[in-house]
């Protein structure tokens, strides 16, 4: 079923835990939801209006998918750069290909997606790009040098884009969603997970639905851009 009304959001990494919750939250709020999957699943989510095959490391595929979405919907109101991956390793163990893969998925892919939607949003003189970052990009985490570097780069990318296209009424913000119960954390040993929980003043991990509600609210805000929003209770100095 495809609605012909309502704003349009494209969510990359739609097959992940946060991606699925985000699709439902936007759908419930009246958005037309396009889910971007690296590989289209056999049983597509019911909370998505449009299913797009988007490997964020493939620039031409991104451009074709965005063009198709704009042709079908006539516009694109929000891009949610949610696709990401993590592979923990100490810095001296990281091979060049491992570094490249993490950078391509977490940073380069977000840039390609933002680049693909920017001209349409500028043409509309309205739009919002939201990057899903990480606390690791703010503080740096042992065993995540490549991931931390990519997520720190995502903050800089978002603020640069906010300066470039703000005069066209296109907003760009970054959200650090905190520690979430997803596949990324399911592989952690119990003591590793507890250590991360203990870094939070509230001594608990975040909630997927609460994060999704915040992002839906942010997506509709008209006067906020170039900002970084941390959604957990870890406390650190701003640089």
List active site positions.
147
State the Cα–Cα distance between residues 163 and 216, nearest whole angstrom: 22
State the Cα–Cα distance between residues 232 and 34, nearest whole angstrom: 27
Of the candidates 22, 23, 80, the one whose C-alpha atom is nearest the C-alpha of residue 56 is 80
Of the candidates 227, 216, 71, 209, the one whose C-alpha atom is nearest the C-alpha of residue 161 is 227
State the Cα–Cα distance between residues 34 and 128, nearest whole angstrom: 15
State the Cα–Cα distance between residues 24 and 80, nearest whole angstrom: 14
State the Cα–Cα distance between residues 115 and 70, nearest whole angstrom: 14
Please check whether residue 32 is in contact with residue 50, taking contact to mean a CB–CB distance below 8 angstroms: yes
């Amino acid at each position: 079923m495809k609605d012909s009304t309502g704003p349009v959001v494209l969510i990359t990494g739609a097959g992940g835990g946060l991606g699925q919750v985000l699709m439902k939250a936007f759908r419930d709020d009246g958005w037309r939801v396009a889910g971007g999957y690296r590989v289209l699943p056999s049983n597509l989510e019911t909370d998505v209006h449009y299913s797009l095959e988007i490997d964020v490391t493939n620039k031409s595929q991104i451009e074709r998918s965005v063009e198709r979405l704009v042709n079908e919907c006539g516009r694109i109101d929000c891009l949610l750069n949610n696709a990401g991956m993590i592979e923990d390793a100490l810095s001296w163990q990281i091979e060049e290909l491992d570094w490249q893969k993490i950078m391509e998925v977490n940073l380069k892919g977000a840039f390609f997606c933002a680049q693909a939607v920017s001209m349409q949003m500028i043409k509309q003189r309205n739009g919002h790009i939201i990057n899903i970052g990480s606390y690791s990009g703010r503080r740096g985490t042992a065993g995540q040098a490549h991931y931390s570097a990519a997520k720190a780069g995502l903050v800089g990318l978002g603020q640069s884009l906010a300066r470039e296209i703000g005069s066209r009424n296109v907003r760009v913000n970054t959200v650090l969603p905190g520690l979430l119960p997803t596949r990324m954390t399911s592989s952690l040993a119990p003591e590793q997970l507890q250590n991360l929980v203990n870094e939070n003043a509230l001594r608990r991990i975040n909630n997927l639905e609460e994060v999704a509600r915040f992002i839906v609210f942010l997506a509709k805000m008209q006067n906020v851009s170039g900002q970084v929003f941390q959604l957990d209770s870890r406390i650190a100095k701003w640089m």
